[in-house]
Amino acid sequence: MTDYGSMEAKWQARWQEAGLDKAERIDGKPKFMIIFAYPGVTGYLHVGHLRGYTYVDAIGRYKRMTGYNVLFPVGTHATGNGGISLATKIARRDEKTIDYLLRNGCPEDKIPELEKPMSVIEFFNDVYVNEYWKRFGFLADWRRFTCTLYPDYGKFIQWQFHKLKDAGLLIQKPYYAPFCPNCGPVAVDPSETDISKGGRAETQEYTLLKFRHGDEFLVAATLRPETVYGQVCFWVNPEVEYRRIRKDGETWIVSPQAAEKLTLQKDGIEEVGTIPGSEMIGWMCEAPMIHREIPVFPASFCNPDVGTGLVTSVPSDAPDDWISLEAVKKDPSLKEKYGLTQELIDSVVPISIIDIKGYGDFPAKDMIERLGITAPGDPKLVEAKKQVYKDGYHMGRMKDVCGEFAGMRVDEAKDKMRQAMIDAGEAEPFHDLSEEVVCRCGARVHIRRIDDQWFINYGDADLTERTKAHAKEMDLNPPEFSENVQGILDWFRERACVRLGNWLGTRFPFDEKWIIEAISDSTLYPIYYTISLYANDHRIEPEQMTLEFFDYVVLGKGDISGVSKSTGVSEELLDRIRKDVLYWYPLDINLGGKEHMTVHFPAFLFNHMAILPDEMQPRGITVNWYVTGKNSDKISKSKGGAQPIPGAAAKFGVDAMRLYYAHVASMFVDVEWSEETVLTYRQRVDRVFGAVTELISRESDAPAGEIDAWLLSRFNRHLAEIRTAMERYDLRQMCTTVYFDMLNDIRWYTRRGGSCRATIDAALRIWIQAMMPVTPHTAEELWESAGFDGLVSAGQLPEPDRSVISAASEHGEDMIRDVMSDITEIRKIAGIEAKRVVLYTSPEWKREVMRRAAAMRESGELSVPALTKACMTDEAIKRNGKAASELAKKVAIDFSRSESGAWEPVYSTDEFALLDGAKGFLSDEIGLEVDVLSADAEDVYDPQKKARAAAPGRPAILLE
RNA sequence: GCCAGGGUAGCCGAGCCUGGUCAAAGGCGAGGGACUCAAGAUCCCUUACCGCAGGGUUUCAAGGGUUCGAAUCCCUUCCCUGGCACCA
């Protein structure tokens, strides 16, 4: 295996020596600032992540070689519980975790150090920078690296929150969060850092429905308030000892567990007694909204742990209800046991309330039959419920029985009906976890109301309008994101921005018990890269980074001498930082994966708009899609199947991988990772490398000829194409030109016998420079062996020389290729064992027809009759009779469809000279003797009368 | 369901905005050939169908429409993908 690593390391060291990675303000020089949305520190990354990062480096390199001073900083986002989670697992030597670390190349002796969260973060910061980004040859300004857990970064975030507060965008309102009675707030997430069970639980929003019975209420909890019109009875678990509680002067009956949960969410709850479930069977209670009396029946599926342990029954749409009602009707023992009358039981019949495509009047019944469920307690009921709920919510429509809600879509009716009942005092909101969650301390975790939760008010109308207006001006890629983002910005509402508990992050400046949560501290940060430089080398210390400091350097507010005095930062340094900020900002491109479209990018836009002046608003966002595993999953970090990045880099070489990312597909589609595909790019790099190496060493003392003019024309045209593509950041198009088209041109040049040193050198300069953005190591290696000076990475891409771009020259070679393929085709079709081929070039009169057509096209008078008429005034043309008028017709149509001047090379090329000059080449290529004759020549040899078919651009061919 | 984006030759994928020069780029795969003792690499040719002269025929999810002309514009239908929130 070739040792790509040492070649790559060599050039990376040279770039560093040359200081190419460092970005410094150069007043007056155009700047370009680009970032990728920094990754969360969650462990080892996989090959998929490098896709977006590679785009950023390639774009940065391209900008650098086209006259820009480029700032490409990197950082990491470590806010959250990822670090804690990993450290905890490492501390208790969790087998899977240790295995995961070792498999990804973590040195064994490093592991004991990783028991502290911050050590984990620092460890991975180092991995990301050194094993991923530097390894891939990125020219990022490493000096500016920052991490969300650094104290100086925290100062910046606290300042940002002061600004949000000043702008009136921080609001407080109640919020419902998981809470342990002993440990306080806990994080419920799949990593299960804080908890020992229930990491997949979700917070669900129930509606408590109050059913009047005498002067008390049976309280049911439902996720489907829109089904109240279908209520026909009420379920109570006869085995459960229910509680009576006082709430706002009312008496409620709920399960004991529900009573406990309610105290966490409602004020003034007081237990006043108990009542066995069995006692309630046979009661009549008044259902909310419909105000009908419905009977209470026994049901074993009422789990006191879920909701309130009491359930309103809507058999039409709830499979559990349907099957249980059937069971009640069939079970005679219930009548005796609970004294229910047959009449009462018979009076309970399902009511059809929702019309769902693909279902009959009673969706629950349909689903039960479809799944073959026959009795209550069947485990398939869970699935049945989920499916009916989902279909009902998305596709259902309320039927006529639903009063004022008739005809509404379910997803709309749900909120409306819930609100109507809450307004009428018949219902209340309630939150519960979808499954049992147990804290590490062993206590049960419940949802608790938090009254003073802070939110950022992204729903603010003025902010939204201004942000939307700015987004319209931005360069957003893919273009459809421009359209979508308008909707996303509208849809963004208040967002909880702080949280309690065991999380890493910055303290909320207005109340230290809160930690600023993960999305909210990563929205304005790109601007901090202009400042982190000075914090990292300790020219400023975190304690100096006061509100006045940021106000001055970011916003230009305050008086420099005052700020200098209060912070202890010299006026000179303050001035310098301020100028840096003004120079580098706004951000030109923020590139991130598609997951950011509805989360990070809108928040990024809002925060910039809320805090920074117009001239500092971001200019562009580029969204990249993923590299996926099989079955188009994201390559999962946790699944472990993905290849560690350093291993892949060693195996394929960094440049091959970079080219793979840049070219394998449009930025805006997912790509399935396949080593085989990467290998074809490895091969592609090798082929280009080989072709260049061969050109460098080729004997090349021939004088410049036609083919040299052709190559220079092609390469300068490509240069222009590359620039056009890169205007749109279309790396893929650019790579097609550089690694495919240009290689093909070189092959043709070689095949045509090109070997002029000056041409080759000129072509190589263009070509190698054009390779630099995507395959920089290969480019350097080639640049050096070609004997060119300096580093390509430090050079400037030449402007295309339009004076050497020649349509005529390119047309000539196209013609030769066409002639070759025509000959091949004729030989194949005709099955002739030919010894000789005769080419007849077009007669002069046909050229004249085209000249006339071109002139008429120019002056706008071209039409079939006009051209025919004009041609007939020319004796030399007219003489050809019908052939002349037919040609005039065809030419008139062809020319009028084309751009003016497009056909010029066709009629003005000296075809005889061209083909005669290529005779030797053609003869070698096709293995036949080749003669070139002019169709105009006197007594031309033409035994098969082929010559008359000759036309400009299309010589007649005779095989014999 | 709502919003958005798609369905192109064996596969991947350009073209579609700005209709004609589109049987439709390029790559991969496949077949043939050159080079070679041989393999690999490299290079050349072919790869919808028909055709003993460079041509013809039928194609760009399906159906309909606009137009002298449609892969490209419009309408309908079918199918696929993503997002639908407090989760980074």
> The complex's ipTM?
0.91
pLDDT tens digits for range A33-86: 999 999 988 888 888 888 889 999 999 999 999 999 999 999 999 988 788 888
Q: Quick one: average pLDDT of A441-466?
A: 88
- Nearest nucleotide to the CA of A834, by C1', is B53
- Structure token digits, residue A909: 């090329």
- Looking at this protein, which amino acid is placed at residue A157? I
- Nearest nucleotide to the CA of A839, by C1', is B54
Instruction: Calculate the angstrom distance between C1' of B21 and CA of A56.
Output: 38
> What's the pLDDT score for residue A938?
79
Instruction: Calculate the angstrom distance between C1' of B12 and CA of A664.
Output: 9
- Omega before residue A586 within 30° of 0, cis: yes
Instruction: Calculate the angstrom distance between C1' of B64 and CA of A684.
Output: 46
- Grade residue A932 by pLDDT with cuts at 50, 70 and 90: very high
Q: Which nucleotides of B are covered by protein (CB under 7 A)?
A: 1, 3-6, 12-14, 20-21, 25-29, 41-46, 51-54, 81-88
Higher pLDDT, A863 or A71: A71
**Residue A442, number of CB atoms within 10 A of its CB:** 10
Question: Across A48-121, where does the E strand assignment appear?
Answer: 69-71, 75-76
- Omega before residue A478 within 30° of 0, cis: yes
Q: Quick one: average pLDDT of A319-325?
A: 90
The CA distance from A146 to A149, in Å, is 9
Q: Name residue, tokens 């008086």.
A: A559
Instruction: Calculate the angstrom distance between C1' of B39 and CA of A690.
Output: 20
> What's the pLDDT score for residue A641?
44
Instruction: Calculate the angstrom distance between C1' of B47 and CA of A3.
Output: 37
> What's the pLDDT score for residue A252?
96
Higher pLDDT, A202 or A494: A494
Q: Quick one: average pLDDT of A163-183?
A: 88
Q: Which residue is nearest to nucleotide B14 (CA to C1')?
A: A733
Characterize A719-739 residue by residue with b for buried, 16 or more Cβ atoms within 10 angstroms of its Cβ, and e for exposed: bbbbbebbeebbbbbbbebbb
Give the H or E element holding residue A913.
helix A911-917
Contact A396, A356 (CB under 8 A): yes
- Nearest nucleotide to the CA of A954, by C1', is B54
Instruction: Calculate the angstrom distance between C1' of B82 and CA of A548.
Output: 44
Instruction: Calculate the angstrom distance between C1' of B2 and CA of A796.
Output: 50
Contact A448, A177 (CB under 8 A): yes
The CA distance from A73 to A147, in Å, is 12
- Nearest nucleotide to the CA of A903, by C1', is B21
- Grade residue A374 by pLDDT with cuts at 50, 70 and 90: confident
Q: Quick one: average pLDDT of A442-447?
A: 86
The CA distance from A934 to A200, in Å, is 83
Q: How confident is the prediction for chain A on average, in pLDDT? A: 89
> What's the pLDDT score for residue A223?
87
Instruction: Calculate the angstrom distance between C1' of B73 and CA of A742.
Output: 35
Instruction: Calculate the angstrom distance between C1' of B36 and CA of A800.
Output: 42
Say which DSSP state A680 is in.
H
- Grade residue A394 by pLDDT with cuts at 50, 70 and 90: confident
Nearest to A206 by CA among A195, A188, A185, A220: A220
Q: Quick one: average pLDDT of A227-254?
A: 94
Nearest to A718 by CA among A799, A664, A655: A799
Q: Quick one: average pLDDT of A867-883?
A: 87
- Nearest nucleotide to the CA of A947, by C1', is B53
- Grade residue A358 by pLDDT with cuts at 50, 70 and 90: low
The CA distance from A137 to A682, in Å, is 17
**pLDDT at residue A314 is higher than 60:** yes
- Grade residue A182 by pLDDT with cuts at 50, 70 and 90: confident
- Grade residue A642 by pLDDT with cuts at 50, 70 and 90: low
- Nearest nucleotide to the CA of A596, by C1', is B88
Of A6-15, A414-423, A579-588, the range with the lowest mean pLDDT is: A414-423
Q: Quick one: average pLDDT of A889-906?
A: 82
Rounding to the nearest 10 degrees, give the CA dihedral for residues A816, A821, A823, A829: -170
**pLDDT at residue A634 is higher than 60:** no
Q: Quick one: average pLDDT of A105-127?
A: 93
pTM attached to this predicted model: 0.88
- Nearest nucleotide to the CA of A79, by C1', is B88
The CA distance from A663 to A657, in Å, is 10
For residue A938, the SS3 value is coil
pLDDT tens digits for range A685-709: 999 999 999 999 888 888 998 899 9
Give the H or E element holding residue A916.
helix A911-917
Contact A520, A566 (CB under 8 A): no
Contact A177, A454 (CB under 8 A): no
Q: Quick one: average pLDDT of A12-30?
A: 97
For residue A313, the SS3 value is strand
Q: Which residue is nearest to nucleotide B17 (CA to C1')?
A: A479
Give A774-794 as a DSSP string: TSHHHHHHHHHHTT--S-GGG
Nearest to A776 by CA among A135, A85, A330: A135
**Residue A183, number of CB atoms within 10 A of its CB:** 16
The CA distance from A960 to A237, in Å, is 100
Nearest to A498 by CA among A480, A511, A482: A511
Burial class (CB in 10 A: 0-12, 13-18, 19+), A803: exposed
Packing angle between helix A479-491 and helix A600-611, nearest 10 degrees?
70
> What's the pLDDT score for residue A2?
66
Instruction: Calculate the angstrom distance between C1' of B51 and CA of A830.
Output: 9
Contact A738, A771 (CB under 8 A): yes
Q: Name residue, tokens 């045509």.
A: A752
Q: Name residue, tokens 């001006």.
A: A473
Characterize A658-693 residue by residue with b for buried, 16 or more Cβ atoms within 10 angstroms of its Cβ, and e for exposed: bbbbbbbbebeeebbbeeeebeebbebbeebbebbe
Of A59-68, A352-361, A623-632, A785-794, the range with the lowest mean pLDDT is: A623-632
> What's the pLDDT score for residue A632?
34
> What's the pLDDT score for residue A403?
86
Contact A642, A44 (CB under 8 A): no
Q: Name residue, tokens 């479930």.
A: A277
> What's the pLDDT score for residue A638?
36
- Grade residue A629 by pLDDT with cuts at 50, 70 and 90: low
Higher pLDDT, A1 or A435: A435
Q: Which bin fits A55, alpha (ψ -120 to 50), beta or left (φ > 0)?
A: alpha
- Grade residue A191 by pLDDT with cuts at 50, 70 and 90: low
Q: Name residue, tokens 């969300």.
A: A148
pLDDT tens digits for range A752-786: 988 899 999 999 999 999 999 999 999 999 999 99
The CA distance from A736 to A739, in Å, is 6
Which residue intervals of A291-341 are DSSP H helices? 319-330, 332-338
- Nearest nucleotide to the CA of A818, by C1', is B54
Q: Quick one: average pLDDT of A534-540?
A: 97
Give the H or E element holding residue A207.
strand A203-213
Phi, psi (deg, nearest 5) at residue A673: -65, 130
Higher pLDDT, A494 or A572: A572
The CA distance from A888 to A882, in Å, is 10
Give A709-737 as a DSSP string: HHHHHHHHHHHHHHHHHHHTT-HHHHHII
**pLDDT at residue A518 is higher than 50:** yes
> What's the pLDDT score for residue A636?
40
> What's the pLDDT score for residue A688?
93
